[in-house]
Amino acid sequence: MTAQPVPAATARASAWVVTAADRVFGGTVGDLVPVRFPAYARVFHPALRVGAPVRWSEVATAHGRAMHPLAQWAQLNPPSPGETSRPEQWGSDLRPITARLAVWDEEPVLGSMPAMVAAELVSVLTKHTRTPGRCWFAVWDGYGALSARWRAAPSFELFGRDMALLSGSIASAAFSLSDKPFEDLYANMWWPSDHSWCVATDVDMMTTYVGGSAEAVEALVRNDFLEVLPAAAEHSVTWDSDTVNHARP
Amino acid sequence: MRNRTMKIVVAVSAFAVALAGPAAAAETGETAPQSALSEGSGTVEVIATPAPGAPGAQAVIRCVGGTDNPHKSHTDPRRANVHVNITCSANVARIAVRGAIYRDGALAGTSARNHVTTGRKSAANHANTACRNNHLYGSWVGGEITFPPNYVPPTGKISAFGRSARITNC
């Protein structure tokens, strides 16, 4: 059974994150995860086809696109007939893309880790901290589905977003914070007390970033269940970061 | 010094739900009102129950429409986004959902079209507009759920103002 977190007694444990982000959001991985780690990884949330995970690399191959660390979902799915072909309109809007039925029928989860990603990250990252029993979880209090219990937790501000701070064992990362039993919602940012790694999922993104040791990132990249590519703190996370596929017709 | 930003404003007040008879409104779609006259709780729900004696029908299905706080986008810093969704307790025949974002009560952007899922328990959509500092942004979610055969009512419609927030970090 997944461990339930508890509201943090104070928001003091967020200080290292806030200090690291004490500036304007610059649109890089280093704005999502503190720039203090030797290695970074990008975890791609899977699309689904008849309920089964579909990797972004499979989508790229199906559409003649290239999979790479800065890939963007919209750029891997060229517009279908009748859809706009203006790159900026296609790429910048978060509009849902119509299913490419032979490839995928459900888009990757946006704004929160999928349950299987949360569970697998817990499994891998447990081995790369000395404090798996004491971790911190920050969740945006702007989620409509966030349970009132967590909304009342001590909070801190990160790039204009109020984040409620919870604590628990690493297993709490896979505990849904939604007030709807049929809708999953997980922390946007979580880290162990020894700061050996940090996981971040932005409200507007379909991927999750991890900063940690070279060994932790390598373990993630080698994981069979997750689709993970190495990243760098200076990598862009904005819609136009996919310069490999962006300009292609 | 870090830019102190976004004061969250949420109120529980008026929202609208309508239960519909024949499936019809999805293509025409719920239309976002031109102005946001109220703030909502961010959630609203419709419930369908198995018709008495109907074979195959299992349990009550509850569908909830919701919005997140409007916020400055981290993928396109010139824009303010709002995410909307309809999520049900079980798979339903069809969900069509669309959203809208308001600035100081006036309609500022809508999702281009309905997002439709079939045979699933959720559908999400988004709306965005130019991000301008120190304005109050509101949200709206609309859509239609077609329940499985032998459920009453056969469809449910959602039209609800959702969460709002003042954005000051554009």
Percentage of residues of chain B with pLDDT beyond 90:
61
Confidence of residue B89 (pLDDT cuts 50, 70, 90): very high
pLDDT tens digit sequence for A188-232: 999 999 999 999 999 999 999 999 999 999 999 999 999 999 999
Q: Which of A107, A81, A104, A79 is nearest to A248 (CA)?
A: A79
pLDDT tens digit sequence for B31-49: 777 777 566 655 588 999 9
Distance from CA of B117 to the nearest CA of A (A): 9
pLDDT at A89: 67
Residue B15 predicted with pLDDT over 60: no
pLDDT at A97: 83
Residue B68 predicted with pLDDT over 70: yes
Size of interface A-B (CB pairs under 8 A): 112
Subunit contact A106:B117, Cβ cutoff 8 A: yes
For range A227-239, the mean pLDDT: 96
- Is residue A7 within 8 angstroms of chain B, CB to CB? no
Q: How confident is the prediction for chain A on average, in pLDDT?
A: 92
- Is residue A144 within 8 angstroms of chain B, CB to CB? yes
pLDDT at B4: 38
DSSP collapsed to 3 states, chain A = CCCCCEECCCCHHHHHHHHHCCCCCCCEHHHHCCCCCCEEEEEECCEEECCEEECHHHHHHHCCCCCCCCCCHHHHCCCCCCCCCCHHHHHHCCCCCCCECCCECECCCCCCCCHHHHHHHHHHHHHHCCCCCCEEEEEECCCCCECHHHHCCCEEEECCEEEEEEEECHHHHHCCCECCCCCCCCCCEEEECCCCCEEEECCCCCEEEEEECHHHHHHHHHCCCCEEEEECCCCECCHHHCCCCCCCC
The H helix count followed by the E strand count for chain B is 1, 14
Residue B5 predicted with pLDDT over 50: no
Distance from CA of B148 to the nearest CA of A (A): 18
- Is residue B157 within 8 angstroms of chain A, CB to CB? no
B146 three-class SS? strand
For range B111-132, the mean pLDDT: 91
pLDDT at B7: 37
Output Rg (C-alpha) for chain A, integer angstroms. Answer: 18
Subunit contact B75:A205, Cβ cutoff 8 A: yes
Q: Give the CA count within 13 Å in the CB-facing half-sphere of B44.
A: 28
Helical pair A115-125 and A214-222, crossing angle rounded to 10 deg:
130
Residue A247 predicted with pLDDT over 90: no
Please give the Cα distance from A204 to B84 (Å, whole number). 12
Percentage of residues of chain A with pLDDT beyond 90:
76
In chain B, what's the furthest Cα-to-Cα distance?
66
pLDDT at A183: 85
- Identify all chain A residues contacting B115, using CB atoms and an 8 Å cutoff: 95-96
Q: What is the DSSP letter of B35?
A: B
Q: Which of B105, B84, B82 is nearest to B30 (CA)?
A: B84
Distance from CA of B99 to the nearest CA of A (A): 10
pLDDT at B10: 35
- Is residue A23 within 8 angstroms of chain B, CB to CB? yes
For range A41-47, the mean pLDDT: 98
Residue A54 predicted with pLDDT over 50: yes
- Is residue A24 within 8 angstroms of chain B, CB to CB? yes
Residue B98 predicted with pLDDT over 90: yes
Residue A82 predicted with pLDDT over 60: yes
- Identify all chain B residues contacting A145, using CB atoms and an 8 Å cutoff: 43, 66, 87
For range A37-59, the mean pLDDT: 96
Q: Are A159 and A83 in contact (CB under 8 A)?
A: no
pLDDT at A110: 93
Residue B143 predicted with pLDDT over 50: yes
pLDDT at B12: 28
- Across A82-91, B20-29, B137-146, the highest mean pLDDT is recorded for B137-146
Distance from CA of B111 to the nearest CA of A (A): 7
More confident residue, A7 or A105: A7
The residue to which tokens 């830019």 are assigned: B3
Taking residue A142's Cβ as centre, other Cβ atoms within 10 Å add up to 24
Subunit contact B83:A203, Cβ cutoff 8 A: yes
Structure tokens belonging to residue B155: 């469809």
Residue A126 predicted with pLDDT over 70: yes
Q: Are A149 and A139 in contact (CB under 8 A)?
A: no
From the candidates B75, B116, B129, which should be mutated to test the interface with A, based on the most A CB atoms within 10 A? B75
pLDDT at A208: 98
More confident residue, B64 or B41: B64
Taking residue B40's Cβ as centre, other Cβ atoms within 10 Å add up to 27
pLDDT at A96: 78
Q: How confident is the prediction for chain B on average, in pLDDT?
A: 80
For range A18-35, the mean pLDDT: 86
pLDDT at B26: 36
- Identify all chain A residues contacting B125, using CB atoms and an 8 Å cutoff: 95-96
- Identify all chain B residues contacting A24, using CB atoms and an 8 Å cutoff: 3, 169
Residue B167 predicted with pLDDT over 70: yes
